[in-house]
Amino acid sequence: MTDTVVPETKLPKVGTTIFTVMSQLAMEHGAVNLGQGFPDFEVPPRLVEALARAMREGRNQYAPMTGVPALREAIAGKTERCYGWRPDADTEITVTSGATEAIFDAVHAVVRPGDEVVVLDPCYDCYEPAIELAGGRAVHVPLDPLTFAPDWERVERAITPSTRMLMINSPHNPSGAMLTPEDMAELTRLVQSAGLYLLSDEVYEHIVFDGRRHESVLRYPELRERAFVVSSFGKTYHCTGWKVGYCIAPPLLSAEFRKVHQYNVFCTFAPAQWAFAEMIAHEPEHYERLGAFYQAKRDRFQRQLAQTRLRPLPVPGGYFQLVDYSAVSDLDDLAFCRWLTAEKGVAAIPLSPFYAIAPEGQRLARLCFAKNESTLDAAIERLKAL
């Protein structure tokens, strides 16, 4: 019997994601899971009915590689309604199997071996593996550890002749911080002066609070002409398990993006595409009211947290609440979240896995409030005992 040949790993820093680890730990200990970011309430009824109808009507075979035309037209109209600019449905919109696939495709469309990609820490864990698999190198620039705002001078210093792309995320996961018009002006200057491509992760685009405006890259002509803008139906319509998203990019960038997409998944779940097309056309109020829907959850959850020893940080957008646990424990964030899950019955996500180098002494954990009131109430009762 010959020995098994162990391949040299292409992703030496990658193991099981922290989201999977904490969710598994939550199951083992019967913890209330506020860790992994998924809603535990129902998908809009129209969407479910439209999906079932599409399957009954036989829309079960391969969709067009770029996406069902009706959905791409609906996305174009929605984009114009939200951001004042209408992308071309045929040449600028590609439907993908979730935002993660779109991010992977965008990176592989333009990043070559030896290229550098600037990412802003803390950042979502799929960014760096996509860069490394393309032969590139992620250059991590930390955001402010308290406000999670970018330091554009520091970003500029990180840009070299090898820099190919800059990746941004607003509303930001895990902090909920949002880019401002002033940020967009600085971003425009940097992208133009350095000749960079931009990848803008905007999956929480409709979950914004307190009258704030989401500063989409699509609002800014100088940015969108060099950008891949990624969105997620899973986040907007409470159906993360359907794994459907899309990317908007100029025609030449979309052409390169689609070369990767067609040999990655080729096309995306067809019945869901027809369902989303109908939902966008007939219930635009869903995404228009999504901010208010989640703001009510955020506000209620923050009032409840005031009854605990956890200190909630401001949350301008998204559906995550960062809490400072320094009044409870001196443990590092990974150890604290494991203890919280195993001993106190509430699963949270530590921040350090979102960093290349986490700030020393940072005592923050991420809780998801995209949950039913009963779920949040159960978690709060346990957190009161801290």
HEC string of the chain equals CCCCCCCCCCCCCCCCCHHHHHHHHHHHHCCEECCCCCCCCCCCHHHHHHHHHHHHCCCCCCCCCCCCHHHHHHHHHHHHHHHCCCCCCCCCEEEECHHHHHHHHHHHHHCCCCCEEEEEECCCCCHHHHHHHCCCEEEEEECCCCCCCCCHHHHHHHCCCCEEEEEEECCCCCCCCCCCHHHHHHHHHHHHHHCCEEEEECCCCCCECCCCCCCCHHHCHHHHCCEEEEEEHHHHCCCHHHCCEEEECCHHHHHHHHHHHHHHCCCCCHHHHHHHHHHHHHCHHHHHCHHHHHHHHHHHHHHHHCCCCCEECCCCECCEEEEECCCCCCCCHHHHHHHHHHHHCEECEECHHHCCCCCCCCCEEEEECCCCHHHHHHHHHHHCCC
Residues 24 and 125 in one domain: no
* Per-residue model confidence (pLDDT) at position 2: 58
Residues 127 and 235 in one domain: yes
* Per-residue model confidence (pLDDT) at position 233: 98
- Among 286, 307, 334, the domain-final residue is 286
7 found inside a domain: no
11 found inside a domain: no
* Per-residue model confidence (pLDDT) at position 19: 82
Residues 32 and 134 in one domain: no
- Among 286, 315, 339, the domain-final residue is 286
9 found inside a domain: no
Does residue 384 have a pLDDT over 70?
Answer: yes
- Report pTM: 0.96
Residues 124 and 203 in one domain: yes
**pLDDT, mean of residues 149-168:** 98
Residues 307 and 323 in one domain: yes
Residues 279 and 306 in one domain: no
Range of the domain at 333: 18-43+289-383
The per-residue pLDDT for range 207-227, each reduced to its tens digit, is 999 999 999 999 999 999 999
Residues 237 and 329 in one domain: no
**pLDDT, mean of residues 31-39:** 90
* Per-residue model confidence (pLDDT) at position 6: 75
* Per-residue model confidence (pLDDT) at position 97: 98
- Among 286, 302, 317, the domain-final residue is 286
Does residue 15 have a pLDDT over 80?
Answer: no
